[in-house]
Structure 1
Amino acid sequence: MGTGCGPAPDPTPDSPAWSPPQAVESSDAPEAIGPYSQAIRAGGTLYLAGQIALDPATGEMVEGGIEAETRQVMENLAAVLAAAGMDFGHVVQTQVFLTDLADFAAMNEIYGSYLAPPYPARATVEVAGLPRGAVVEIQMVAVDGP
Structure 2
Amino acid sequence: MNKQIIHTDKAPAAVGPYSQAVSCSPNKMVFLSGQIGLDPSTGKLEDRSFDLQVKQAFKNMICVIEASGASLDNIIKTTLYLTDLSKFETVNSIMSDLFPKPFPARTTLEVSSLPKGAKFEIEVILSM
Tell me which residue corresponds to 1:118: 102
| TM-score, with structure 1 as normaliser | 0.84
1:129 maps to which of 113, 116, 121 = 113
Residues in 1 aligned to 2:48 and 2:97: alpha-carbon distance in whole angstroms:
18
Counterparts of 1:67-82 in structure 2, within 5 Å, are: 67-82=51-66
Asked whether the 8 Å contact 1:71–1:111 carries over to 2, the reply is: no
Tell me which residue corresponds to 1:35: 17
- Given the alignment of the two structures, is residue 50 of structure 1 paired with residue 34 of structure 2, yes or no? yes
Query: Which 4+ stretches in 1 moved above 2 angstroms?
Result: none
- The one-letter amino acid of 1:62's match is E
Residues in 1 aligned to 2:111 and 2:11: alpha-carbon distance in whole angstroms:
24
Residues in 2 aligned to 1:55 and 1:112: alpha-carbon distance in whole angstroms:
23
| Cα RMSD (Å) | 0.8
Residues in 2 aligned to 1:120 and 1:82: alpha-carbon distance in whole angstroms:
17
1:85 maps to which of 49, 54, 69 = 69
Residues in 2 aligned to 1:128 and 1:28: alpha-carbon distance in whole angstroms:
28
Gaps of 5+ in 2: none
- The one-letter amino acid of 2:103's match is Y
Deviations 1:49-72 (A, max 9, x none): 000100000100012222101100
Residues in 1 aligned to 2:50 and 2:87: alpha-carbon distance in whole angstroms:
7
Shift of 1:94: 0.3
- Given the alignment of the two structures, is residue 21 of structure 1 paired with residue 8 of structure 2, yes or no? no
Shift of 1:23: 0.5
- The one-letter amino acid of 1:116's match is P
Larger radius of gyration: 1
Residues in 2 aligned to 1:65 and 1:131: alpha-carbon distance in whole angstroms:
17
Residues in 2 aligned to 1:114 and 1:64: alpha-carbon distance in whole angstroms:
21
Gaps of 5+ in 1: 1-18
Equivalent residue pairs, number = 126
Shift of 1:108: 1.2
| TM-score, with structure 2 as normaliser | 0.95
